[in-house]
Amino acid sequence: MRKIRDVSIERSTKVLAGIFAVSGVVHLVKPEAYEMIMPEWVPAHREVILGSGVAEIALSAGLVAPKTRRLAGWGSLALLLGVYPANVKMATDALATTNTGFKVVALARLPLQWPMIRSALKAARG
């Protein structure tokens, strides 16, 4: 008798896939929105932004497909850790302004990355 494998998708994985899908499209349609948060040590800003958009869309698709979910989980984890310096730069830049709204958004992004990282790790571990 064949064992039936549970291929259901966790809610947190669905949310992460949705976030990546939307963010990936925005990266491709409006890359200039991300240029100001790119750390200066990163080369070829526009190309990296476009590449990360493609990666987010691919990872989004991979997260919802049972056969690629674990690999996409590891890829998602790597991507989230890789873009974290841009979020730190954004927060640092925001602190140097008088724009309270920008400060709130930029600082809120830092702790909001951790549930996404946790979701990616959960998907990676199956």
| Per-residue pLDDT tens digits for 71-89 | 999 999 999 999 999 899 9
What is the model's pLDDT at position 36? Answer: 85
Q: Is 12 exposed, middle or buried (0-12, 13-18, 19+ CB in 10 A)?
A: middle
pLDDT over threshold 90, residue 54: yes
- pTM for this model (two decimals): 0.85
* pLDDT interval class at 9 (50, 70, 90): confident
Helices 69-95 and 11-29, packing angle to 10 deg: 60
Question: Using an 8 Å Cβ cutoff, are 60 and 13 in contact?
Answer: no
